[in-house]
Amino acid sequence: MPEGPSIIILKEAVQQFKGRKILSASGNTHAIELAKLVNQKIIDFKSWGKHFLICLPKFTLRIHFMLWGSYSVNEPLKKNIRLHLHFNNGDLYLYSCSIKVIDEDLNLVYDWSGDVLNDAWDENKARKKLKAQPDQLVCDALLDQHIFAGVGNIIKNEVLFRIQVHPESIIKLLPPRKLTALIREARNYSFDFLEWKKAFVLRKHWLVHTKQICPRCVIPLIKKHLGKTDRRTFYCENCQELFAERTTLNAERSKQKTKYEYLKAKKTVKKKARKPTS
Ligand SMILES: [Zn+2]
């Protein structure tokens, strides 16, 4: 699934069509009558998180690539074309995506300050939104598009490794410096992602996503589907700290520890007790 930075790359790839008229439109989309697109001029291309927005004079086409969507410019790459827009200087092809028509003013539909890659991104607003959902797990919070529009599963895994926070940590139990790091790195990593993806070196920079060994501790990483979002999560149990209330497992562990300490103490007492006689 394309994450926010990939949509920025798409936006840059189609700049040649800005200001051009759609000469013909085809494809298997049922979202709009294709004839309505012909002769419409592209006013702008915008993005909000994972949404790619084709702005026309009277309405906007919202493209969401879901899990398997893709696009190509000038050359068709696949057979099942959802939407093909033909211009006098080239072609745009969209595949396996969801298309929706937005009639409203985009500024009323989208909160641009919630998009991690937008100039309007607002850290304080993100903090407020996080605090309003105190019981959320960090792995779910990062994927919440109302808080971090544009963040996807790769960014989630890499950000949590970067800030050394366990994915099952609970928002309200994060120390303030970790909460700040979470918000800041969600944006920073997204820009790194964008830069690496443009240079075709993104995978090379993955530290935990799809990896098996922790580069910090050189021990096996854990791979689990975690949180309400149930997405693949890669993390290190050793260097990513868990900020959570004691689970039954932790309570059990601490019970064992107490028992062990009790026995150890008893032994010491015995030893001490024996000492004078020896
Ligand atoms: Zn580690």
Element (H, E) at 259: helix 248-274
The per-residue pLDDT for range 237-266, each reduced to its tens digit, is 999 999 998 654 455 445 444 545 545 555
Centroid of ligand 1 to alpha carbon of 202 (angstroms): 21
**CA 190: distance to chain centroid?**
9
- Residues 43/105, Cβ–Cβ less than 8 Å: no
The per-residue pLDDT for range 215-226, each reduced to its tens digit, is 999 999 999 999
CA distance 94 to 147: 27
Centroid of ligand 1 to alpha carbon of 151 (angstroms): 23
Q: How many CB atoms within 10 Å of residue 85?
A: 25
For residues 267-272, give the mean pLDDT.
50
Centroid of ligand 1 to alpha carbon of 23 (angstroms): 55
269 pLDDT higher than 70: no
150: amino acid identity, one letter: G
CA distance 111 to 215: 37
Domain 4-109: homologous superfamily in CATH: MutM-like, N-terminal (3.20.190.10)
Structure confidence at residue 2 as a pLDDT band (50, 70, 90): confident
| Closest alpha carbon to 209 in 136, 156, 251 | 156
CA distance 205 to 197: 10
The CATH fold of domain 115-244 = Helicase, Ruva Protein; domain 3 (1.10.8)
What pLDDT, on the 0 to 100 scale, is given for residue 249? 44
Q: How many CA atoms lie within 13 A of 171 on its CB side?
A: 21
Centroid of ligand 1 to alpha carbon of 181 (angstroms): 18
DSSP state string for 162-217: HTTB-TT-BGGGS-HHHHHHHHHHHHHHHHHHHHHHHTT-TGGG-SSTT-SB-TTT
Centroid of ligand 1 to alpha carbon of 212 (angstroms): 11
Could you tell me the residue ranges of all domains in the chain? 4-109, 115-244
The per-residue pLDDT for range 10-68, each reduced to its tens digit, is 999 999 999 999 999 999 999 999 999 999 999 999 999 999 999 999 999 999 999 88
Centroid of ligand 1 to alpha carbon of 238 (angstroms): 5
